[in-house]
Amino acid sequence: MRSYTLIAPAKINLYLEIIGDRPDGYHELVMILQSINLADKINIRTISDEIIRVHCNHPQVPADKTNLACRAAELMAKQFPEALAKYGGVDITVEKNIPVAAGLAGGSTNAAAVLVGVDLLWNLGLTQTEIEELGASLGSDIPFCVGGGTAIATSRGEQLAPLPSLDHIYIVLAKYRSLEVSTAWAYKTYRQEFGSTYIRNTEDLAARAAAVHSGEIVKAIVHKNATEIAQKLHNDLERVVLPTHPQVMQLRELFATQPEVLGTMMSGSGPSVFALVESEQQAQAVKQRVREAIPDEDLELFVTRTITHGIQIAS
């Protein structure tokens, strides 16, 4: 029996701008995605039966065919039926550390890990680009999760351009355990409220994406200047999530008043909120102060940092 353990990191959005609609019903986006060292652990092994099964230790994560990790393995089985017949099915165990439905791409990074893991288990020899293309057919964040690091993502979020990697910017991350925001709801509500401002013309959409590429936050990333990056954080989805979720707004305001915090923002469709700080010591101090201000056990707080990679093989 063959087996691999993979590390599947979460991401945060340093930037998320919704620029228009797409004919396929998705939005045209410009995002800057950043891997962080908060990660799930995925064990994947071959089994003699030609089936895919998944186990997960988290009550909010389905242990059936709707699990994105399972869907990734099924996609591989469909694409490579001879490998399935030769090597057998796949048993996946997901050890969840990333908060669920939090805007941190928890499901997407699990799917990315399974694509990488099945490629290894079945000796397929796929390139990173081929794995990313398979991932894009399952979910827009999956291609980024494969290679990770720091990247600009356009179109639905699946078109990637790497940026210079950011290492060791410290992050305090907060999420109410029982609070979930559906990504589909956030985008649908945004379209209802702000759809009239969307760019309609293809050339203007491309120009807007190019403007972010050559804009201030990318310059700050190139200079690896955490203070400047923090000042340029942006997320359009805050416009719909913050007014409807006062607890998220409160967290955001609390972070903003901490002297060590360089900048704070909601990640993706939320409801997790992160704050950038210079050092681990400062991050621990902010975490402790937020904990004292909100002594609610439902509030999960993490100290983490930016990392330069996506899926990694642990063993």
Q: Annotated catalytic sites, by residue?
A: 11, 141
Cα dihedral 127, 130, 134, 140 sign: positive
Nearer to ligand ATP, 42 or 220 (CB): 42
Q: Which two tokens stand for residue 301?
A: 């707080």
Question: Is residue 308 within 8 Å of residue 167, measured between CB atoms?
Answer: yes
Exposure class string for 227-258: b at 16+ Cβ within 10 A, else e: ebbbebbbbbbbebbbeebebbbebbebbeeb
Nearest position to ligand ATP, beta carbon: 107
Which residues contact ligand ATP (rule: CB under 6 A)?
60-62, 66-69, 94, 100-108, 110, 141, 183, 268-269
Instruction: Please give the helix or strand (H or E) that residue 136 lies within, else none.
Output: helix 128-136
> What residues does 303 pair with on adjacent strands?
172
> Least distance to ligand ATP from the beta carbon of 257, Å?
26
Q: Which one, 108 or 150, has the nearer CB to ligand ATP?
A: 108
Residue 235 has which token pair?
A: 């997320």
Question: Residue 122's CB: how many other CB atoms inside 10 A?
Answer: 21
Shortest separation between residue 29's beta carbon and ligand ATP, angstroms? 12
User: Please, which residue, 264 or 269, has the CB nearer to ligand ATP?
Assistant: 269
- Please classify residue 70 by burial: count the beta carbons closer than 10 Å to its beta carbon, then call 0-12 exposed, 13-18 middle and 19+ buried: buried
Minimal distance, residue 284 CB to ligand ATP, in Å: 25
- Per the CB < 8 A criterion, the answer to whether 294 and 269 are in contact is no
Residue 268 beta carbon to ligand ATP: minimum distance, rounded to whole angstroms: 4
Which distant-in-sequence residues (6+ apart) come within 8 Å of 224 by Cβ? Answer: 164, 166
Q: How far is the CB of 145 from ligand ATP (least distance, A)?
A: 9
Half-sphere exposure of 30 (CA within 13 A, CB side): 20
Give dist(CA 171, CA 265) in Å, integer.
Answer: 11
Please, which residue, 105 or 217, has the CB nearer to ligand ATP?
105
Is the CB of 5 or the CB of 231 nearer to ligand ATP? 5
